[in-house]
């Protein structure tokens, strides 16, 4: 478990391209026109047993709102060290978030699941907005979110 986290931490650091056994993956998250302020999105991975494995991206910079990303907050105890260097701006209604990161090959076809928690100020928190197994076959197939995400795709 510990070694996997280390791998994730390394590979998600965009400053280390071309690392062995890793490949660039583009995560595309399109939002609905839900008609509110910018959405906070936490993208993270759980392992086959459902345990938190690591974070991929945090859209939204004010940590006081992270508690509204309920599942991520619960899994990480709100530890912002989990998202050091992989934090960006919140995503507006109807906009698209596109992030390219190097992900370890070991994450694919091994029971890992990518989750997105979403929250919008004064609107319903939406933990587990998206939940999609990481498989080589699943790449490029859009998945629908529950409330705010119109579709999510990971491309390799």
Partner 1 sequence: MIRALHRWPGLLAAALLIILTLSGAALSIFPAAERLAAPQAETGLSVATLATRIQTTYPGVEQIRRSPSGQITAYWFADGTPGAAVIDPVTGEGVGPADPNPVERWLTNLHRSLFLGDGGRIAMALSAAAMLILAVSGSALVAHRAGGWRRWFAPLRGPLSGRLHVEIARVAVVGLALSSMTALWMSASTFELLPIATSAPAFPSAVSGDTGVAITSIDLLGQTPVAELRDLNFPYSGDATDVFTLKTDHGTGYLDQGTGAALGWTDLTAGERVSETIYMLHTGQGAAFLGIILGLMALGVPVLGVTGTLVWLVARRSRPRIIGNQPAAKAETILLVGSEGGSTWGFAATLQQALSAAGQTVHVAPMSGFGPLRYAKAQRVLILAATYGDGDAPETAKAFLDRLKTLGTVPSAPLAVLGFGDRSYPNYCGYAQRVAAEAESRGWEVFLPFDTIDRQSPQDFARWGRLLGQVLGIDLELTHQPVQPATQTLTLVSRRDYGAQMQAPTAILRFALPRVALWQKLTGRGFARFEAGDLLGIVPIGSEIPRLYSLASDQRDGFVEIVVKRQPSGLCSAQLTQLAPGDTAKGYVRHNPGFKPGKGRVPLILIGAGTGIGPLAGFIRGNKRHKPIHLFFGMRNPKHDYLYGQDLSNWQAEGRLTRLDMAVSRTANPNYVQDALRAEGAEVARLIRDGARVMVCGGRDMAAGVADALADILKPDGMTPVALKAEGRYVEDVY
Q: Using CB under 8 A, which of the segments 2-10, 21-29, 110-118, 119-127 binds partner 1?
A: 119-127
Residue 146 interacts with partner 1 (CB under 8 A)?
yes
Residue 137 interacts with partner 1 (CB under 8 A)?
no
DSSP, collapsed to helix, strand or coil, labels residue 68 as helix
Of 2 and 64, CB closest to partner 1: 64
- Contact positions with partner 1 (CB under 8 A) in 41-100: 50, 62-64, 67, 70, 73-74, 77-78
Q: Give the number of residues in contact with partner 1, rule: CB under 8 A.
A: 20
Residue 147 interacts with partner 1 (CB under 8 A)?
yes
Question: What is the CB neighbour count within 10 angstroms for residue 123?
Answer: 16
Residue 128 interacts with partner 1 (CB under 8 A)?
yes
Query: Which residues lie closer than 8 Å to 91 by C-beta, 6 or more apart?
Result: 29, 31, 38, 39, 41, 59, 97
Q: Are 133 and 124 in contact (CB under 8 A)?
A: no
**27-44 b/e (C-beta count within 10 Å ≥ 16 → b):** bbbbbeebeeebbbbbbb
CA–CA gap between residue 83 and residue 60 (Å, rounded): 11
Min CB(104)–partner 1 separation in Å: 26
Min CB(95)–partner 1 separation in Å: 15
The residues facing 113 across adjacent strands are: 46, 133
Q: Using CB under 8 A, which of the segments 11-19, 20-28, 100-108, 117-125 binds partner 1?
A: 117-125
Q: Using CB under 8 A as the criterion, which residues of the chain lie in contact with partner 1 when the complex forms?
A: 35-37, 50, 62-64, 67, 70, 73-74, 77-78, 122-125, 128, 146-147
């Amino acid at each position: 478990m510990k070694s996997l986290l280390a791998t994730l931490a390394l590979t998600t650091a965009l400053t280390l391209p071309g690392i062995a056994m890793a490949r660039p993956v583009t995560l595309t998250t399109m939002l609905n026109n839900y008609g509110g302020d910018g959405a906070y999105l936490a993208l993270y991975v759980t392992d086959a047993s459902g345990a938190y494995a690591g974070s991929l991206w945090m859209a939204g910079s004010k940590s006081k709102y992270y508690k509204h990303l309920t599942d991520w907050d619960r899994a990480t105890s709100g530890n912002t060290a989990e998202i050091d260097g992989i934090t960006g701006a919140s995503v507006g209604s109807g906009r698209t978030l596109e992030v390219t990161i190097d992900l370890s090959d070991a994450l694919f076809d091994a029971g890992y699941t990518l989750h997105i928690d979403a929250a919008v100020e004064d609107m319903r928190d939406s933990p587990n907005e998206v939940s999609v197994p990481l498989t080589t076959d699943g790449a490029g197939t859009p998945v629908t979110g529950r409330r705010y995400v119109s579709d999510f795709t990971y491309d390799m």
